[in-house]
Structure 1
Amino acid sequence: MTNLLKSLVLLSVLSCAFAIRCYQCSSQTDPLGSDNCGAYKAFNKSQNIAIECNSDESHMPGSFCMKVVHQSPRGFIWDGRWRQVIRQCASVSETGVTGVCNWGVFENGVYWEECYCVDDECNGSPRSITASFAVLCAAILPVLIARKLVA
């Protein structure tokens, strides 16, 4: 019984340690003439604060970060194209895979890209591609605990 208790304590500590922090912004809500979410210029991490995904501040609770880009082939804003960027926490990836970017083109010609990652503040990079130690630990931890309980 004490091994089970130790395992539960370990899992609770690890779950707190793996709580993820993501940037949360949208170019749709940027004030006129500003680019706080990095749609047209480099994303400024010092201008934005990463939030805890399971806190009250989060617009969407989740266990990983997401960055979405939509870009039109026409529409004249700054560089000649309309562009929208959304950075936020996410709980479900459409493909079920994190650490990758998916992209395509809608029927109206708008290019889209969605990147999912599982490291703190990973959606603040130009492309949110990461290899995550947390995913590896989440896969191996149950095996180690099961071995310990059986032994």
Structure 2
Amino acid sequence: MIKFLKIVISVSLLLSFVTDVFCIKCWSCRSSNDPKCADPFDNSTVPITDCNEEKGLSNLPGVRPSMCRKIRQKVNGEWRYFRGCAYLGEAGIQGDERFCLMRTGTYNIFMEYCTCDSKDGCNASGIIGPMPFMIFISGMGLYFKFF
């Protein structure tokens, strides 16, 4: 019985990381179509999209989305928000999802581009929770408690 429990805990820990990486779901919306897409984000009318079901992009054949993204831009004083699946790049800045790429330009233009892959729906806000780490620590605690 203990050996079976050990196998179940080990497989559960492994799957908690694999599903976060390969089957990410992201909020998908544009503030021009739905004002609830802006910040503060209200997902009551916004669909969550399985990125594996995205059709792909014609200019990137064979590339599949692997992250979520949130784009916030200000053009001539008007804020716009876009959320969806991301195809290229890395999560966050140098792997840290707390940081986003920011650019400014002339004519009152500002853009912030945030990417994440830590959990489903991670493009809801700028703060990413440490859920995979907490699952791992909890599982390891159970593992060593019983074995």
TM-score interval, smaller chain: 0.5 to 0.7
AA aligned opposite 1:117: C
The secondary structure found in structure 2 opposite 1:36 is helix
- Structure 2 residue ranges without an equivalent (≥5): 1-10, 58-62, 134-147
Q: Could you tell me which amino acid in structure 2 is paired with residue 103 of structure 1? A: M
1:27 aligns with 2:27: no
Instruction: Tell me the number of residue pairs that the alignment of Structure 1 and Structure 2 aligns.
Output: 114
Offset of 1:47 from its aligned partner?
1.5
TM-score by length of 1: 0.58
| Matched ranges for 1:110-121 at <5 A | 110-118=109-117, 119-121=119-121
Residue pairs, 1:21-60, within 5 angstroms: 21-28=25-32, 30=33, 35-38=35-38, 42-56=40-54
Q: CA deviation at 1:36?
A: 3.3
**CA contact 1:55–1:61 (8 Å) conserved in 2:** no
What is the root-mean-square deviation of aligned Cα atoms in Å?
Answer: 3.4
Q: For CA contacts below 8 A with separation 6 or more, give which structure has more relative contact order.
A: 2
Q: Which runs of 4+ in 1 moved over 4 A?
A: 13-16, 56-61, 94-98, 131-135
Structure 2: how far apart are the matches of 1:134 and 1:57?
Answer: 28
Seen in structure 2, the aligned counterparts of structure 1 residues 55 and 134 have a Cα distance that, compared at 3 Å, is: farther
Where does structure 1 lack aligned partners over 5 or more consecutive residues? Answer: 1-9, 75-80, 136-151
